């Protein structure tokens, strides 16, 4: 399976997926830390991929997503955005709603 296929499969299998540097408990950059903190504050489980452990994904995902930076939040197969967008949505209460709805869909599937 090539890298793009793997990325597509990860996005398809996880309603809430964060591509980040490090892990939610041990983030390796400030932006990934902020993004994962906001997601954890939503109170739902989410999947993550540590791009530092997956250099192929780190190089291919920006081309596939047409988004140059990390972290990247994907919800229901759609790219939501990076740290700034995640934080802005969280502060406005939009992220919590989006994450709760995606988590509820996952339960009902």
pLDDT in tens, 38-48: 999 999 999 99
Paired tokens of 9: 């499969």
Residue identified by tokens 């990247």 is 72
Q: Quote the strand ranges of the chain, DSSP E.
A: 16-20, 47-50, 72-75, 78-81
Structurally, the chain folds into a number of domains equal to 1
pLDDT of 106 over the 90 cut: no
**Which CATH number goes with the domain that contains 102?**
3.40.30.10
Q: Give 27's DSSP letter.
A: B
- How far apart are the C-alpha atoms of 103 and 36, rounded to whole Å? 16
Give the predicted TM-score (pTM) of the model. 0.96
Residue 107 has what pLDDT? 74
Across 61-86, average pLDDT:
97
Q: Residue 26: which domain range?
A: 3-108
Rounded Cα–Cα distance for residues 109 and 102 (Å): 11
User: What is the tens place of the pLDDT at every residue in 16-25?
Assistant: 999 999 999 9
């Amino acid at each position: 399976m090539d890298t793009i296929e793997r990325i597509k499969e990860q996005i398809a299998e996880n309603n809430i997926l964060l591509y980040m540097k490090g892990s939610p408990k041990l983030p390796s950059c400030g932006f990934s830390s902020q993004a994962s903190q906001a997601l954890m504050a939503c109170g739902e489980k989410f999947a993550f991929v540590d791009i530092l452990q997956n250099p192929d994904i780190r190089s291919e995902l920006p081309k596939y997503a047409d988004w140059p930076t990390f972290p990247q939040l994907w919800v229901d197969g759609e790219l939501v955005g990076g740290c700034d967008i995640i934080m802005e949505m969280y502060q406005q209460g939009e992220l919590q709603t989006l994450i709760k709805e995606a988590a509820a869909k996952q339960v009902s599937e």
